[in-house]
Amino acid sequence: MITYRKAQPKDSDTLLALRMAYVRETHDDLPEESLEKIKARIPGYFQEHLNRDIVVYLAEDDSRAVGCVFFVLINKPASPLFITGKTGTLMNVYTMPEYRRMGIAKTLVKMAIDDGAKWDLSYIDLRSTKCGYPLYKSTGFTEDKSIYMSMKLFFDNE
């Protein structure tokens, strides 16, 4: 039987393992050196941010983590696009391969959505893979149409 809960600091090793499984699966061409750099940064991140500005929802089968959703909470000055100034970003929506197509990710995403409504967020955003797109559509997400163009500036911090 699958059980669901929010992660606690004692779960940091589990969160690291789930994050790395997700990264390895979605970036299978990433050099091992880059993976090790990512892995080294994650424990400190959770120590500083877990249950402050990131909430992680876990699915477990007999106390073994089999899925997760990371929910990053962002507070910024209010604007016409986010009246409350509070938004959330879902990331690392991951279910172990042998547990897929059982509704686990959908349950975890719905948990995050329910909490987001309680926390007075203006919206929740995410970036979807083609595989995840139907899940997000079925939980109420829509494609973002905006007058703004998404842009990034990358730093060479390898």
- Write the pLDDT tens digit of every residue in 60-115: 999 999 999 999 999 999 999 899 999 999 999 999 999 999 999 999 999 999 99
Give the CA distances from residue 125 to residues 66, 90, 112, in Å, rounded to whole numbers and listed in that order: 23, 6, 11
Sign of the torsion angle spanned by Cα atoms 74, 79, 81, 84: positive
- Radius of gyration over every alpha carbon of the chain, rounded to an integer in angstroms: 16
For residue 156 the two structure tokens come to: 């060479």
Question: What does the pLDDT read at residue 146?
Answer: 84
Q: Distance (Å, rounded) from C-alpha 153 to C-alpha 158?
A: 15
Mean pLDDT on 51-61: 97
Q: Which amino acid appears at position 69 of this protein? A: V
Is 157 a residue whose pLDDT tops 80? no
Question: What does the pLDDT read at residue 3?
Answer: 98
Question: What does the pLDDT read at residue 92?
Answer: 96
Question: What does the pLDDT read at residue 148?
Answer: 85
Q: Are 38 and 23 in contact (CB under 8 A)?
A: yes
Confidence of residue 153 (pLDDT cuts 50, 70, 90): confident
Positions of E strands within 76-108 = 86-95
For residue 1 the two structure tokens come to: 């039987």
Q: What is the pLDDT of residues 31-46, one digit of tens each?
A: 999 999 999 999 999 9
Q: Distance (Å, rounded) from C-alpha 110 to C-alpha 116?
A: 10
The distance from CA 76 to its chain's CA centroid, rounded to whole angstroms, is 19
Q: Distance (Å, rounded) from C-alpha 9 to C-alpha 113?
A: 22
Question: What does the pLDDT read at residue 158?
Answer: 64
DSSP 147: S
Mean pLDDT on 48-68: 97
Q: Could you tell me which CATH class the domain 2-138 is placed in?
A: alpha beta
Mean pLDDT on 1-10: 96
